[in-house]
Structures are given as structure tokens and as C-alpha cells.
Amino acid sequence: MDYISHYDSPLGGITLASDGTCLIGLWFDEDKYFGDTLGESYEEKDLPVFTQTAKWLDIYFSGKDPGFLPPLSMRTTAFRKRVWEILLQIPFGKTMTYGQIAARIAEETGRPHMSAQAVGGAVGHNSISLIIPCHRVIGSDGCLTGYAGGLDKKIALLSLEGAE
């Protein structure tokens, strides 16, 4: 059984999802891939992981790095999980390009090349938005490319962080 909770952010409603222990999803309510990791049956419930996540979000939306993560469970493929683990390493207020992530994975796997488009697909399907900071990934020319929660939100989040 999965569980959900709601959070009202300055950028709109957010839905949180959990397996009962770990966070499995965090989506803006208009997110393109809303609920993609939720099981067929779920219910609204107060859980410690939701309390921790709300605290994380409160700190984050105050413009500060929360400095901790609630427990996470990534329901995804091995490739997407590796991309998301790299996203977790991008510091608050910093950005990384799709190409940089692709090059890192290519190096780790001993491949001569990794597709930045494949990385983009993994980034775009991030089910634990904000906490796994997919909004910190930009195009190789520095332009802001898609964000499942909406490009306006990506701009607002990077501005909140004072991203370079």
C-alpha cells in the first residue's frame, strides 16, 4: 500500500507519496508525470516521512539548503537511478548540464559516449522532484530546458537558490 500527503508551496500544490517508510514521489500537482510511481491503491495518511519532507520543503522554500534528506526509495530503472544519484550530488545553487552527466556515466561504465538525450529522459522522469534536484540541470549552452513541473517553476526554483 502506498500513501499520499499534500503540501502547499509558494509555487503551488505538491503531492508527496510514500511506501510507508520512504518517500517514493514528490510532484507539483500539474506535473507532466504526476503519480508515475504510485501503486494502484493508495490512501492519504500522516507519516513521519511526510513530516520530515514538509520540514525539508519549509527550509528549502525559505531560500536555504535544508542540509538533510528524508528517506528516499527510487522506484525506477538502474539507469535512471544512477542519473538521479548524480542529481543528488549537485549542490544547492549550482547547475550541471545534461552532457556533463552523460560524460560522467560514460566514464563510470567505460563507454566512449553516453547520450545526453538519454540522460534528459531520465532527468525528466524524476519522480522525487525538488529533493532530487532535476531543476538544476541545464542545456550545454546554459539555456533552461524542460521541466516536468513547468519551465516557470524551474526558473523560480533556480532563482530561489541564487543559482549560478
Q: Return the pLDDT at 145.
A: 80
Q: What sign for the dihedral angle of Cα 46, 48, 52, 55?
A: positive
Phi then psi dihedrals of residue 11, to 5 deg: -105, 5
Per-residue pLDDT, 147:
77
pLDDT at 33 exceeding the cut of 90:
no
**pLDDT classification of 16: cutoffs 50, 70, 90:** very high
Q: What is the pLDDT of residue 3?
A: 97
Residue 134 falls in the annotated catalytic set = yes
Residue 115 has pLDDT above 80, yes or no: yes
Name the active-site residue from 123, 134, 148, 157.
Answer: 134
94 CA to centre of own chain: 15
pLDDT at 163: 87
